[in-house]
Each structure stands twice: as C-alpha cells, then as structure tokens.
Amino acid sequence: MSITSQASQRITALLDDNSFVEIGAMVTARATDFNLKQTETPSDGCITGYGVIDGNLVYVYGQDASVLGGSIGEMHAKKIAGLYDLAMKTGAPVIGLIDSAGLRLQEATDALNAFGEIYKKQTMASGVIPQITAVFGTCGGGLALFPALTDFTFMEEKKAKLFVNTPNALAGNEISKCDTSSAAFQSEEAGIVDFVGDEAAILGQIRDLVCMLPSNNEDDNSFVECADDLNRADASLANCVGDTSIALSTIADDNAFVEVKAAYAKEMVTGFMKLNGVTVGAVANRSEVYNEEGGKAETFDAALSPAGCEKAAEFISFCDAFNIPVLSLTNVNGFKADKCSEKKIAKAAARLTYAFADATVPKVNVIIGKAYGSAYVAMNSKAIGADMTYCWPNAEIGTMDAKLAAKIICDGQGADVVNECAKEYAYLQTSAVSAAKRGYVDAIIEPADTRKYVIGAFEMLFTKREDRPAKKHGTV
C-alpha cells in the first residue's frame, strides 16, 4: 500500500495500528483505449483489504483520487465486489471510503457493468452484514447510489460532494443559491447522510459505530462488560420529556448514546446505546432541542411528520435485520398538519407502523408524555406488538386531550360543566392508571427508575422467539 496516497492514510487512521492487510495491490486496469495502456493505474485507483477496529474484523476499500480521479472501471469494481464476497463469507462489515470522479469514461460499458456488479453485491449484503460509507471527495451520478444502498453514511463537511445531478444542472438552481451536493443539504434536507464532520472526526465516529454494531445478522459479538450501575436512578429524567436525546443518554450505559441522522427530521430521534452491555436501538419523539450550554435551541410540535416516520421506519428495519432490540420513548399528540405533510403522512405513518409491527426483536415502549390517537398506536404501542409497555405517572394516553374531548361530549352545556367533564374524562379515559387498568400499560414507573426497568425488560426478553406467517416479504 502506498504510504503517500490519501486513501491509504485514511485507512491507516481508521483501523487499529498495524492491522491493515491489503488485497489486490497488483491489480491494474485491463482496458487500453484512449492510451490507458500508457497510464499508470496502481491498484486501479482502489485500495482494498481488511483489518480490525477495536478488535472487530472489518473489510475496507478506499478510492484513490490520484489515480484517474478515483474513477470506477472494470478492475476497480471487481476489487470491491471481491471484498464483498469475502465479507459475506466471514460475516464482517464493509466500510467504503469514497473519493471518486465516478464512471471511468475510457471504459464505457465495462464501467457501467462494473457499477451494476457493485450494486448487486450491496443488495445481497443488505441485512446480512453492516455496510458503512464515508464520502471524503466527490460522489456523483450513479456513484451516489453506493451510500444510499448502505446502512450508514458519513460525509466530510467541507470538501465532500454527494449528488445524482450537479446543483447547476437542476432547473432554476445554481450552486450559489442552493448547494444540493453539500454535506449540510444531504444530512439536513435529503436525510441520506447520518454523520457530518471533519475527516478525523468521521474516522473516529466510524470506529464508535462499528463497536456498537454486531458483525453480521447471525453472530453477535457486540456484547461488552457493563461497569455502570444497572439500577442507577436519575431524577433529571423527568425533565427530559422534550429532548429525548438527552433522556436516552441518561438511560444508557456510561451515558453514551450514538445518534444517527441527528440533523434530519429532528422531531424523531434514532440511535444506538448499550444497556447492560447489550446494543439497543432507540426511537423517540422529540419536541425540544437543547444546546451544549443548556439553552433551548429549537422546538417542534409533538407530532409525527413524514420525514420522521420514514427515518424511524428505516432505522427499525435495520435493527430487526441485525437482531438489535428496540426501545421507544413515546410523546406524541398526533400527525403533523400542513399541506406539504398531508401528501405523504399516511404512507409514511403506515411504514412506521409496519416497521414496528413487523419487527420480531424484543420491543419495549416507555410512554413519557402524551400518547394520543393513531399516532400513539403507530409508536410501538402494545396493540402493534410492543412486548413490554411502561409509562410515567403523568403520561396521558387516549384519543385526544381531555379538554377537547369534553367540549365535544358536553357541547353547549356551559363552561363549568365542560370543566367537570374534562376532569372526569382525564381520570377515566386518558390517565396512566386508566390505561394500566385496561392492560395497555404493563406498569407505571417513576421517571428516575426508567433505566432499571428497561434493562430488566430486555433481559427478560433476551430469548424471545416469534413466529410469523410464511411469506417472501411484505409490500409496505
């Protein structure tokens, strides 16, 4: 491996010291058209091999932009495809470091076929081994499908470009108006990118993520010893109903929560944590975002949005594929109501409902605030398959706010009657006690004790098995 190439330097920085073993270092391009025979193509612009991250085997390919712009041709693609074959045989993640001009024009149909071969390998590997992509330079055209076909995408914040069509090729747009290829756009607007940062931060984040994930969908080596108190109580949890990212960090072992797609659909939190040393996927509604100084930076309606539903559904499907238990924190009062959302919310909410209901991994739900209407049902309710459901004492569970219900029930009967009706409705229909009496909640717990209860629930559910109707796959 060349010590001077940027691709090799990235691989060295990503992996444990002296652990990288290169494969296919002697491979070069076979094509000879347009003087390619006279052009040196070491490793055909792609360094491939394997190594370890904190002792975990991983396969890595890094595109070398100094060789024909890192463009993808026949042999370049065969190296990546071969790496996927090894990863599938041994059950280990594939990490791609992208910095490429895209399709190699000098190889035309060979290069197009090469793209297709990689797409197929990524498809076959989906749900079998984790796939991670990091974009450090250009990732355009058909190459943009690479990160979209993988599970998690990282993107360098300043130099990286991710696009299918360049910003200037979009009707009515040019790059100074809106840089649709930027990390900010792809993470905040498109939702393709999970993590954004400088190169060093990205490599560190990849290491953190790999240590959270199982190596494949059958053999889970992601368990670690937990030194944190399993019964640790924290009274501050009661104040985290709005910003559930903080709540999840508080519940997690050593307060470590790895949030994914943090910049996209912020009203829905998704990410990974350890509970008693076991990786758990977390999904939570969020109505507030607090900054590092403790100030309130953003607020949202406690409602399901199309983007939030899609984000959560995709995450739940990943967890289910890799046998990662799912914890949800519910605080939702309905669906987002505006014209733009109305075009997509029914389908998106259906996808979220389907993802929760279809998942056979252990599922625990904690209702921490409001849980109203069909939005509550979609958020991992017992009705669609939650194995254990807890709620905090002040949680509200029902069709709607008690005051609104009272105005409908006691329409035209005066303010005093409506107020009394609201109190009665709150006690009989929307209180935590009411839901527990009907069996929709398994236990009412104090916020401070949430960590203890969810750890206990997941330990109890560790050997869960659930049969489903025989079918090829669902269609939602």
What strands lie across the sheet with 131-135, from one edge to the other? Answer: 21-23, 46-53, 56-63, 94-98, 131-135, 152-156, 195-197
Predicted pLDDT of residue 4: 60
| Spatial distance between the Cα atoms of 89 and 383, rounded to a whole number of angstroms | 39
| Spatial distance between the Cα atoms of 314 and 243, rounded to a whole number of angstroms | 21
| Spatial distance between the Cα atoms of 467 and 470, rounded to a whole number of angstroms | 9
Predicted pLDDT of residue 1: 42
pTM for the model stands at 0.94
What structural domains does the chain harbor? 6-210 (3.90.226.10), 222-392+445-461 (3.90.226.10)
Predicted pLDDT of residue 2: 43
- Which H/E stretch holds residue 415? helix 415-425
Helices 415-425 and 402-409, axial angle in degrees (round to 10)? 130
Question: 265: number of CA atoms within 13 Å, CB side?
Answer: 29
What phi, psi does 20 have (nearest 5°)? -80, 135
Q: pLDDT tens per residue, the chain (476 residues)?
A: 444 689 999 999 999 999 999 999 888 766 655 556 656 666 788 999 999 999 999 999 999 998 888 888 888 999 999 999 999 999 999 999 999 988 887 787 888 998 899 999 999 999 999 999 999 999 999 999 999 999 999 999 999 999 999 999 999 999 999 999 999 999 999 999 999 999 999 999 999 999 999 999 998 767 899 999 999 999 999 999 999 999 999 999 999 999 999 999 999 999 999 999 999 999 999 999 998 888 999 999 999 999 999 999 999 999 999 999 999 999 999 999 999 999 999 999 999 999 999 999 999 999 999 999 999 999 999 999 999 999 999 999 998 888 888 888 888 888 888 888 888 888 888 899 999 999 999 999 999 999 999 999 999 999 999 988 999 999 99
Predicted pLDDT of residue 34: 55
